[in-house]
């Protein structure tokens, strides 16, 4: 089952189109070498799945020197982060209480929330409409990258805040179904493995 959501089916007459630079600002993360332990979790590009989730496997960590202001790089709940190298354009929403710093290969988007909800933008970032724009912006480059100059050109359909909330709720329902399917697949794999083990 695809996570893509065709937002074009949910547009209202009063939907407006805006470039991301009109409704948001951008911040780069912190440059450091990751370790297996430390005070802060260190999220990198490989930690964002193709479905826009932050992976919980193989976590890495860092410590910050005293000269670095923690708040400058500390992720807060509902923060949106985007990969600018490697998995260019992959977007996740941060929803954890764990103290977490994001790498310089990610961009944090800070929205005008009187216009657009972070959750709605995350939903939009999973759609074909979004990915068509990303591919056009990075296409033809020898070493693809999706920096803030590219990101600000993304055009977003913005309905009312109430409609945005409806779309987010619909997306959450989709995710519940998908997570159930994933769990069922894992249980089936475990059952098959047990059957194979019994043969020996």
Q: Which domains are present in the chain?
A: 7-199 (3.90.220.20)
Q: How many whole angstroms separate alpha carbon 51 and alpha carbon 81?
A: 13
Candidates 107, 126, 121, 108; CA nearest to 18 is 121
What phi, psi does 22 have (nearest 5°)?
Answer: -80, -20
Please give the model's pTM, rounded to 2 decimal places.
0.80
Residue 75 near residue 81 (C-beta atoms within 8 A): yes
Going by DSSP bridges, is the β-strand pair 80-83/61-62 parallel, antiparallel, or unpaired? unpaired
Look at residues 73, 66, 85 and name the one whose alpha carbon lies nearest to residue 28.
Answer: 73
Residues 6+ apart with CB under 8 A from 31: 103, 104
Q: How far apart are CA 95 and CA 186, in angstroms?
A: 24
Instruction: Give me the tens of pLDDT residue by residue for the chain, a chain 200 residues long.
Output: 334 444 444 555 578 999 999 999 999 999 989 999 999 999 999 999 888 889 888 899 999 888 787 889 999 999 999 999 888 999 999 999 999 999 999 999 999 999 999 999 999 998 899 999 999 998 766 667 788 888 999 999 999 999 999 989 888 766 656 655 665 666 676 666 665 565 55
**Token pair listed for 138:** 């990075």
């Amino acid at each position: 089952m695809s996570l893509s959501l065709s937002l074009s089916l949910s547009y209202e007459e009063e939907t407006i189109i805006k470039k991301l630079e009109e409704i948001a600002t951008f911040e780069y993360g912190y440059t450091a070498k990751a370790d297996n332990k430390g005070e802060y979790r260190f999220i990198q590009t490989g930690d964002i799945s193709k479905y826009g989730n932050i992976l919980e496997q193989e976590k890495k960590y860092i410590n910050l020197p005293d000269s670095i202001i923690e708040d400058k790089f500390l992720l807060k709940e509902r923060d949106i982060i985007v990969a600018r190298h490697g998995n260019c354009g992959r977007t996740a929403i941060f929803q954890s209480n764990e103290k977490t710093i994001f790498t310089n290969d990610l961009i944090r988007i800070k929205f005008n929330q009187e216009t657009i909800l972070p959750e709605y933008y995350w939903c939009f970032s999973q759609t074909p409409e979004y990915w068509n724009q990303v591919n056009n912006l990075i296409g033809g480059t020898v070493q693809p990258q999706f920096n803030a100059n590219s990101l600000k050109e993304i055009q977003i359909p913005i309905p009312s805040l109430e409609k945005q909330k409806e779309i987010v709720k619909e997306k959450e329902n989709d995710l519940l179904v998908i997570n159930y399917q994933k769990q069922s697949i894992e249980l089936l794999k475990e059952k098959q493995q047990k059957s194979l083990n019994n043969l020996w």
